Structure 1
Amino acid sequence: MKNAKLLLVAFVLGTMSLFANNIETPTVSKEDIRKQIVELLETSTTNVASEISVNITFTFNTEGEIVVLKVASIDKEVLKFVRENLNGKTIENPGKVKREYTMPISVVKK
């Protein structure tokens, strides 16, 4: 009888661990995320003197909002522009939570 109870407990724990591992992760490509970010930046105006390409490192929080971690630029206007227009914004298909993404973005004066 003890063996049957032990076997039943082991079966229940094993089954529960299978369901716990069935967490959905977004299958959004990096290029799709980049297109959505470029669309966000295109709708805003900037005071940048010319076209500048910068590498932006960011992640997504649990609510799907963009959290800018690093902007590879020494131009304060570019830093301000990127942080104001990306930090806290949500996109249609965010990527994985807490995964760092780095991508080049061109900032153009309008």
Structure 2
Amino acid sequence: MTTGQESIVQSAGEIERWVLDACRDLGLPIESGTDDFFAMGGTSLTAVRLVARAEAEFGEDCLPPEDIYESSALRDIAAAIVRNRGPVVVGPSERQGRGNGEQ
């Protein structure tokens, strides 16, 4: 059933996959969401880079650095992004302008 509005919301699993991929792109030998960011070679500089990538992808303040330090399992980092980013909703009028050159 649709309500006239569609939500574009990434699931926690999709965000966890994004975190895994982002950490791999940063050079960490990540295998799963239970891996620990720091145990896998993450540093304070790597954390800052991850925060910057997350904010570019999910919005400002979606991943405060203290969240990484308080709970550094990648699954927990993904959960922090889900918790902090807020809902993402695109209404019908915004969708109509996409793909045809309109802004």
| TM-score, scaled to structure 2 | 0.33
Higher helix share: 2
Structure of higher CA gyration radius: 1
| TM-score, scaled to structure 1 | 0.32
Higher strand share: 1
